[in-house]
Structures are given as structure tokens and as C-alpha cells.
Amino acid sequence: MPHPVLSGPSADAVPVFTVTPDDWESHAEPLGAEAVAFARAQGFAGKAGTLAMVPGRGGRLAGVLFGCEPADAPGFDPFAHGRLPGLLPEGVYRLSGGVHDAGLATLAFLLGSYRFDRYRKPGGKAVRLVVPDGVDGEKAGRIAEAVAFGRDLINTPANDLGPQEIEDAARALASDFGAACEVTAGDALLAANFPMIHAVGRASTRPPRLIDLRWGDPGAPKITLIGKGVAFDTGGLDIKPASAMRLMKKDMGGAATALSAARMIMGAGLPVRLRVLVPAVENAISGSAFRPGDVLPSRKGLTVEIENTDAEGRLILADALALADEEEPDLVLQFATLTGAARVALGPDLPPLFTEDDALAADLMRLGLAVNDPVWRLPLWKPYARMLDSKIADIDHSGTGGFAGSITAALFLKRFVEKAKAYAHFDVYGWVPSARPGRPEGGEPQVARLVLALLEERFGRKAPL
């Protein structure tokens, strides 16, 4: 089924010319000298993000000039065309010349059309794009729908998205693609040996759970995605201040990334055995909340001393990682809105990547730039493991001293992975704080598109947009 924002060839489609300050007049020549003069009279100079709409006969639009940075400019944005749905009047348009990458421009147009309207009357205008020649519109639409699925999950407030609703979303996804989905919830987590997932979620009236989705040929390469599913994080007994709690509905952004990537992978029919693990909890406060100073058992058998209950995500991920590791998968990729230190180091748009696999790191950084879903490698600096030393348990879960928080969190998680052939951890933000082309303000399943690109390349189904 085609994406509703995409259109087939249309005689009524208005051409959009992508121009720069240096070449806009030459690109506008097909519209005629009067059109160039009209654009110049409006003050149009090809500045990035600006439009000049040129009228034709009968008052209809003859064409649109859209200013962009040159592809070799420092400020060039591959998703620049994601601005267009918000700038253009209702109608059908086609890209006509000057586009650096028509596939990314099409995807950006789709991603920029996203609106979260669950709690308000749907509005907006119908702005559609003719699929450019040579672009796989079906694939672009499939990716955009998976991103929208992840955005919707993150944007939904915690009163309507708790552990049960995360499970419901995973079960619906499994049903759509013929996958199996098993869930272990509540006190059954203890019987199944997931003690840290249970400990983090037991204070909430909404029971914690581990969601386990499986799809694909069991004999194919084993790919496991793990996503942190903290539906809301109060900080626990180490309670967050109000300013830090305001956006904690997004603390399940890792789960949204894993499920969004899974939707892309299954939709593409990649030849892998996919497993998705989502520990889903609410870190609440009650008499049964876990405490600073507690020592928790873990699935792996390591004892874990609790330094701060606001560092809960790594605890639930550790039990999920230990489970994933038991079957010796070919690749484990983990996503979590884990540390503020990652944002201090790299900001909201560039998630840090942690892995000991140099080839995997190189592929991820290269492909991240190619699909405009970038990451940056930070070191698993082993000397910092001393910060996780505990005097009474096998390991302290969040370390002391306040330094290198994203690295020490990654080192803690690495202790629970031994058998996987390759492993990478992504400390994502899961949120766009200020709207940018193709990325509206709000939830964002960062690195989901990157995961698809990696698996396509590694398993022989790489196809450009």
C-alpha cells in the first residue's frame, strides 16, 4: 500500500526546483524570464529554507523555487526537503532538478509530513509528492511508517503508555508480520530469573515485564535488538526534580527504536533470525521500591550494588542482555535513553556508539552518514571499570566520582555480554528538542534507520531509496 503522502505521476504536479544562492536564476529559466523577475521582486535569493512560488496562467502555480545549501557546504542538510510539507500550499508536487539525493529528499519529505494528532483534532493540509524517477517509493514509505510508529510510541504520555501498552504495541507488530511474541510479567519474572527487571518495576501498580519477539528463519544469522522500555522514570527514591521529570515519557525511546527497527527489518523481509527484547517497567515510588545501597541479584549471577535508583535503565537491560547472550547471537544491538552524560558529550542529535568491534563501528559510522542517521563512537575505556568497584558486591551499578557517565554505563552493560559474536550499545536521546527538516519536535527513534542499512548491507539486500 503506497504511503498517503506519495503520488504516482501526475500532469498537475507542480515542479519544485532545488536551488542555491549561486544558481537559482539558471534553475528558474525553464519557468521563463518573467518568473525569474517575479521571484527577484519577492526578494528571493536562494537562501536555504526559503521559497518563491511562481504563478502561471489562470492563477495556478507554475513552479516553486526552494533554496538549499550547496551539497559541499558545511551547513548542508540531506533532509532539507523535509521543510517542504510545512511550507507548501496544499497540492501535488514533483522534484525537478538540483536535488543532491532524490531518495533522501523523498524520505525527508515523508518524515517532515509527520504529525502527532492523538489528542487534538487532525488538521493540516494535503501536500503530496510524486515519487521521483529511480526512487523506491514503496521502501521510502515503509521506512517512514516505521519511524512514525516509533515517534507515536515516544510521544504518547505515560498515562496512556505504560508497560502493558508497550506490550500491546509489540504484540500488534508481531501479528502484522507473523512473528511470535512471549511476555513474562509481574512476579513471574522472579520465577524466570529476571530479578533486576522485577526489582526496578515492582513499585509501580503497573507490573513490569519482559517482551520477547521472534521472527524469521531459525537457521538464519541471529540478530537481537534490545530496547530500554522505561515507560516513565520518576528517578525512584532518588527522585528527579520536576525539570528533569517533564520529558520522562521518552525514557522508553530505546524500546521504540528497537520496535521501529524491527518493523523495518520484517517489512523488508531480510534473511535474518530476528529477536527483539524489551524490558518494560515504570520506575515508580512506593513502599516496595528498590533502594540506594540495596544489593540485587542478576540473571547472569553477578551481584549488583545500587548506587542511585535513578540509574535504573542499565539494570533492566542487564537482565535482557544476559538472556540474549545465552544463545550466542551473531549480533546484539542495544538502544537506551541512558545517560545525561551522553548529551553533554555529543548533544541530542548524535548518539554515542560503544563497541569493541572496529569493523562494526566503522560500518555504523559510515552508514549513519549515508542515511542521515549518524552516530559517533566513544571508547569502552577499560581503566574506568575501576569506578564500578563495589566493596560488598560483584559490581557497583552506576559508579562513583561523577566522571565519564556514559562510558561507565556502557562498561557496566558490557559485563553482561560474553558469548555474542558482536555487540554494540547506543546511548540515544530519543527526542528532537527543536524542529529540524524531516525531524519534527518530539519523539524520534534514533538509529532505527541505521540498523536497517547495516543489516541490508551485511545480508545482501542493500537497495538504495
Q: Let me know: does 217 contact 271? Beta carbons within 8 Å.
A: yes
> How far lies 303's CA from each of 119, 238, 289, 335, 382, in Å?
44, 21, 18, 23, 20
**Least-confidence region, from 91-100, 227-236, 436-445:** 91-100
Query: What would the pLDDT profile of 335-380 be if each residue is shown by its tens digit?
Result: 999 999 999 999 999 999 999 999 999 999 999 999 999 999 999 9
Count other C-beta atoms under 10 Å from residue 74's C-beta. Answer: 6
Name the fold adopted by 6-113.
Leucine Aminopeptidase, subunit E; domain 1 (3.40.220)
Architecture of domain 142-458: 3-Layer(aba) Sandwich (3.40)
Nearest Cα neighbor of 447 from 71, 201, 146 is 146
Spacing of C-alpha 13 from chain mean position: 32
Nearest Cα neighbor of 99 from 16, 31, 32 is 16
User: DSSP code of 270?
Assistant: -
Confidence of residue 461 (pLDDT cuts 50, 70, 90): low
pLDDT on residue 463: 64
Query: What would the pLDDT profile of 39-72 be if each residue is shown by its tens digit?
Result: 999 899 999 999 999 988 888 899 999 999 999 9
Mean pLDDT of 163-176: 98
d(CA 18, CA 97): 6
> How far lies 344's CA from each of 341, 406, 447, in Å?
5, 10, 19
Exposed / middle / buried, residue 76 (Cβ in 10 Å: 0-12, 13-18, 19+): middle
pLDDT on residue 198: 98
Mean pLDDT of 172-193: 98
pLDDT on residue 408: 97
DSSP string for 84-105: HHHHSPSEEEEE-S--S-HHHH
pLDDT on residue 313: 98
- Does 151 score more than 60 pLDDT? yes
**Least-confidence region, from 124-133, 161-170, 214-223, 281-290:** 124-133
Query: What would the pLDDT profile of 25-48 be if each residue is shown by its tens digit?
Result: 888 888 888 888 999 998 999 999
Mean pLDDT of 185-191: 98
pLDDT on residue 146: 98
Q: What are the sequence ranges of the domains in the chain? A: 6-113, 142-458
Q: What percent of the chain stands above pLDDT 70? A: 99
Query: What would the pLDDT profile of 384-427 be if each residue is shown by its tens digit?
Result: 999 999 999 999 999 878 899 999 999 999 999 999 999 999 99
Nearest Cα neighbor of 270 from 217, 343, 329 is 217
Mean pLDDT of the chain: 95
Give me 245's grid cell. 521529570
pLDDT on residue 36: 86
Confidence of residue 20 (pLDDT cuts 50, 70, 90): very high
- Does 462 score more than 80 pLDDT? no
Confidence of residue 265 (pLDDT cuts 50, 70, 90): very high
- At which residue does the C-alpha cell 539486500 appear? 461
pLDDT on residue 402: 84
**Least-confidence region, from 71-75, 224-228, 419-423:** 71-75
Give catalytic residue positions: 240, 314
Topology match between the domains 6-113 and 142-458: no
In DSSP terms, 210 is beta-bridged to 184, 279
pLDDT on residue 2: 75
